[in-house]
Amino acid sequence: MRHARRRVVRRVTRLAAVGGLLLGGAMVAEAAMASEPPPASARPLGSAGDTGTALVARLGTARTAGNWVGADGRPVVAVTDDAAARAVRRAGAEAKVVSHSMDELKSATATLRSAPRVPGTAWAVDYRGNRVVVKGDRTVSAGDWSRLTRVAARIGGFVQMERTEGAFTTRLNGAQPILSAGGRCSAGFNVTDGRSDFILTAGHCGPAGAVWFADGQGDRQLGATVNSAFPGSDFSLVQYASGKAGPGADVVATGGGKGVRITGAADPAVGQRVFRSGSTSGLRDGRVTALNATVNYPEGTVTGLVETDVCAEPGDSGGPLFSEGIALGITSGGNGDCRTGGTTFFQPVTKAMSALGVRLIVSAQNAGGAGGDRSGAPSPAPAGSAGQGGMTPSAASPGSSAPVTGAPEGRTLLSRLTDTRNIGPGLLVIAGSLIALVATRYIRTEQDRRAYQRYYSATWG
């Protein structure tokens, strides 16, 4: 009976050791694979916008009039002559010959900016239509609209005037529970200057010195605004009260306890599918319709914005705009709502970070992703906000999903052991398993030798 028990113990030990070898090998292999850069097809930055932008830069603004992503995903470049069109086609992009160059279009917007300011108006270059579109909301009087129309007529027929529903306002909401001194906003992206961690959000949410709270009762101070630009631009930095924040910096919340992992930053392209998250309306999607837009808010004029057809509502200000895990902008303002639709403008995140001297905080395990500035610092709290009622659009994916907390409490022991960062523990598991195998083999050999001695001792006296 005792020998049977010993055999069972030895077999269990050997099986455990073999299992350890397999687990350790899997851990090491997975960690090694994680260190390799993702294949080109997995990189989040699309090549269509990059190709179009490079062609425009090479040909110049006197021979081109912008670029965008076509319905088939190919880059399209607007050109003013046949020679430029041939160069575009040779590069693998689609060429569209137009009448007005980017120099002419920019001259038109400069003339509009020099005219008397009219709150409630906005304009941007429509690359696909080769025109400048001027919009006026319901707050613009008939007299102001008539005067601005005369300015547009003097520029040329490629300046189109359009009346729009609602009013162009920042997406701040002072009637809801206040999370900052200026009103309720949404966190954008977590950034760092190498010494302290910050939330990058909209500038109109509050001036320097505005205090932010993580709850509506003001019991938990989150931090304070240390740098702000509005109007002109629309961005600000909220420094965490502790100087550092907890796990989850590389994740923006999209509602329902879910989030999207951010791996870098870039400038968007016209026609690109994008997603926005905010504390009021949750996750919403749409497309970029124009770049370098100008909006005349009641508080002042903001230029250089990204125009989209994504909806937004009061309280969404400062929330993140992203696509395929790439940070693109922070919510500034617009018109309409998420029931009737509307236009929303975003501060480009790359320009904001450059002006502020900060970079995105991205976890070390995502450092191999494409694009953007990144840091290996520990991940602070998730940016964005858990939206109420926002649903993930089914037609497109906003990027790789992730929990909004850094390490879910429900993680199993196996998921911890097979973490891609655990190559060291993997080697330890392999070493321990080998020792166990050698030990069981030695013990069995020693037991056999002693049994042999006892047998022959009894036989020969």
Question: Nearest-CA neighbor of 394 among 284, 295, 293, 318?
Answer: 284
* Catalytic residue check, 317: yes
Question: Active-site residue 277, yes or no?
Answer: no
- Determine the Cα–Cα distance for residues 88 and 100; give it in Å rounded to an integer: 17
Q: How many CB atoms are located within 10 Å of the residue 153 CB?
A: 11
The helix/strand/coil state of 387 is coil
| β-bridge partners, 251 | 261
Counting Cβ atoms within 10 Å, is residue 51 exposed (0-12), middle (13-18) or buried (19+)?
buried
Which residue of the set 137, 197, 234, 285 is catalytic? Answer: 234
Which amino acid, residue 256? G
Catalytically annotated residue among 317, 332, 363, 385: 317
Q: Please answer whether residues 345 and 297 qualify as being in contact, where contact means their C-beta atoms are separated by less than 8 angstroms.
A: no
Whether 204 sits among the annotated catalytic residues: the reply is yes
Taking the CA atoms of 249, 255, 257 and 258 in sequence, report the sign of the dihedral they define: negative
Residues 6+ apart with CB under 8 A from 382: 248, 249, 251, 252, 253, 259, 404, 405
> Which amino acid, 371?
G
**Across the beta sheet with 189-192, what order do the strands follow?**
211-213, 221-229, 235-240, 197-201, 189-192, 359-360
Six-digit token string for 62: 């006197």
Which position among 197, 204, 236, 363 bears the catalytic label? 204
Single-letter amino acid code for the residue at 63: R
Nearby residues of 100 by Cβ (< 8 Å), 6 or more positions away: 65, 80, 130, 131, 158
Rounded Cα gap, residues 88 and 304, in angstroms: 26
CA distance 137 to 295: 11
CA distance linking residue 214 with residue 217, whole number of Å: 9
Query: Is-contact 232 385, C-beta < 8 A?
Result: no
Q: Which residues contact 391 (CB under 8 A, 6 or more apart)?
A: 255, 282, 283
Q: Catalytic residue positions?
A: 204, 234, 317
